[in-house]
């Protein structure tokens, strides 16, 4: 099994930059996904209630 993993590591060597940048890209995706949900909430409030006071909604949200 060790020999197999060493051989596999040799194949993956050219892609080590992609491997190590993966966690950073996942973090960026998570942040933008959350920001998109927050923006959608503001837009929905604006459409259905007619007004959206963004500053008041930020004060009400728990952090």
**Helix extents (H) in 1-63:** 2-12, 16-49, 54-60
- With beta carbons less than 8 A apart as the criterion, state whether 19 and 11 touch: no
Q: What is the pLDDT of residue 52?
A: 63
Domain count, the chain: 1
Query: pTM for the whole thing?
Result: 0.54
What pLDDT does residue 11 have? Answer: 84
Measured distance CA(51)–CA(8) in Å, rounded: 57
Domain range holding 51?
2-60
What pLDDT shows up at residue 25?
A: 95
Q: Are 57 and 42 in contact (CB under 8 A)?
A: yes
The two three-digit tokens of residue 20, written as one number? 């190590």
Q: Which residues contact 43 (CB under 8 A, 6 or more apart)?
A: 52
At 6-63, the pLDDT tens digits run: 888 888 888 888 888 999 999 999 999 999 988 888 788 778 877 667 677 667 766 6
pLDDT at 20: 86
């Amino acid at each position: 099994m060790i020999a197999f993993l060493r051989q596999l590591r040799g194949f993956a060597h050219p892609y080590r930059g992609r491997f190590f940048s993966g966690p950073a890209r996942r973090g960026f995706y998570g942040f933008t996904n959350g920001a998109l949900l927050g923006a959608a909430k503001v837009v929905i409030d604006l459409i259905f209630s007619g007004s959206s006071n963004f500053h008041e909604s930020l004060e009400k949200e728990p952090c």
